[in-house]
Amino acid sequence: MFPMLYQNKINKRGFKTAFLIFLSFGFILSLTSCGGKTAWLAFDDEPTVYQIPIHGKTVTEVLENAGYALGDGDRVLVNGVRTDAMQDITIKKGDTIQVRRAYPITIHDDGENRTILTSARTVGQALWENQIAISASDYISIPVETIIDQALSIEIRRSNLVTIQVDGKQITGSASAQTVGDALAQTGVSLQNLDYSIPSEEEALPADGIIQVMRVSEEILLVEEVIPYETEYVADAEMDLDQLKIVQAGQSGLSVSRVRVRTENGEEILRETEESWIAQTPVSQKTAYGTKITIQTTSTADGTIEYWRAVTVTANSYHDTGYKTASGKWPEYGMMAVSSSWWPYMKGASFYIPGYGVAVVEDKCRACEGNMLIDLFIPTEQYVPWHKTVTLYFLTPVPASIKYVLP
């Protein structure tokens, strides 16, 4: 004897049929008496295959006579070929009738909602049959290859044109993203480390679809800077005036700074010093200068002069500017101008300049700052511009205040 299982079967449309199922050698057969021709009936959503009698001119009649009913939108295939269930057709013995149940699908398509009743096998097929096109860049909440075996709700978000300015070029593509960050991801543009976008990743995709990507990089630099050494002057009474001797050589120091440099799209936008330290301390130079003064005489075109100091300078001629001198006098031949650093020590002192004669310091010379320069006054009617290197003799008497090292 074959093993037997008795069950009460209620089909999808509420029809009740009693079956006694024989299970033998892998076949599932109905115990329903089928003295005449029979066909096989299968439902996509059921594992059981039924044997039914063939009574009727259409598939609908055959199914109804066997106790089954079709619902709205159900799809019928006879031997794998889609068939109109209401048309006359000859169902032969052993034919297979396959019923694919229809399910409602609610589609939310970019703000437009519609519901379709479909017996398509997959989501993609259902959309295609209802002329709902999906592009590769559109978003669909359920994969198109999903088998339809229940009612579904599907969201479709259409892609928009985006233009991305990145790495010196412009990329155009389509994206169904709602945010800038997702749009970048869909178009294969990634933000790394400190990179950012305009608008920002979290913002909604702009109406014009334009996104600018800012490539940001940072580097840490160690910047070295030489620290000049200072010179300390030490008086030496054994050395002649204007004689200098290095007693201790100076050594420059070195400072190091850690600097953070940030660039955006290759352009430096920030340079910030985070820390600085002295890597090498400078060593001051010690220079001895002579303070021994010797009164000397020399013969000149203007006769013998007595002097206590002589230095080499560059002399320039200048003429009346319409202003009084720094000492409050109107300029005249025999007046000399010196730098403001010499002025406190030489104001009113007398000097001899070969080729010019005796001159008294009565004025300041702005152009003489930081240099061994002097200006010699020439009356306007005799003025000829010239400059030359001369010996400047400091005439006696020796002043009470002496600048031993001339700036």
List beta partners, residue 176.
none
* The pLDDT value given to residue 368: 87
Classified as helix, coil or strand, 264 is strand
Higher pLDDT, residue 296 or 30: 296
The C-alpha angle 298, 299, 300, rounded to 5 degrees, equals: 120
pLDDT tens-digit series, residues 298-346: 999 999 999 999 999 999 999 998 999 999 999 999 999 999 999 999 9
Q: Which domains does the chain have, with CATH numbers?
A: 4-100 (3.10.20.30), 103-157 (3.10.20), 160-214 (3.10.20), 219-289 (2.20.230.10), 293-395 (2.40.40.10)
Q: What is the mean pLDDT of residues 116-125?
A: 93
Comparing CA positions, the residue from 145, 173, 141, 179 lying closest to residue 157 is 141
Q: What is the mean pLDDT of residues 344-355?
A: 96
Q: Which residues contact 234 (CB under 8 A, 6 or more apart)?
A: 247, 286, 287, 288, 289
* The pLDDT value given to residue 378: 96
* The pLDDT value given to residue 358: 98
pLDDT tens-digit series, residues 234-259: 999 999 999 999 999 999 999 999 99
* The pLDDT value given to residue 110: 86
pLDDT band at 35 (very low <50, low <70, confident <90, very high): low
* The pLDDT value given to residue 211: 97
Whether 396 has a pLDDT exceeding 90, the answer reads: yes
pLDDT tens-digit series, residues 54-78: 999 899 999 999 989 898 889 999 9
Whether 19 has a pLDDT exceeding 90, the answer reads: no
Q: Establish whether the linkage from the previous residue to 397 is cis, with ω within 30° of 0.
A: yes
Whether 229 has a pLDDT exceeding 90, the answer reads: yes
Comparing CA positions, the residue from 97, 101, 49 lying closest to residue 71 is 101
Q: In degrees rounded to 5, what are phi and psi of residue 317?
A: -90, 145
pLDDT tens-digit series, residues 73-105: 899 999 989 988 888 888 999 999 999 989 999
* Region of 199 on the Ramachandran plot (φ > 0 left; ψ -120 to 50 alpha; else beta): beta
Higher pLDDT, residue 135 or 256: 256
Q: Record the tokens describing residue 369, joined without a space.
A: 């700052």
Give the C-alpha separation, 133 to 122, whole Å: 14
Q: What is the mean pLDDT of residues 157-179?
A: 92
Q: Record the tokens describing residue 388, joined without a space.
A: 């030359």
Cβ-contact 156, 140 below 8 angstroms:
yes
* The pLDDT value given to residue 25: 31
Q: Which residues contact 351 (CB under 8 A, 6 or more apart)?
A: 336, 358, 359, 360, 361, 392, 393, 394, 395
Whether 347 has a pLDDT exceeding 80, the answer reads: yes
Which position has the token pair 């049929």? Answer: 17
pTM: 0.53
Q: What is the residue-wise DSSP string for 215-229?
A: -EEEEEEEEEEEEPP
User: What is the average pLDDT score of the chain?
Assistant: 89
Percent of the chain with pLDDT over 90: 75
Which position has the token pair 């709700």? Answer: 153
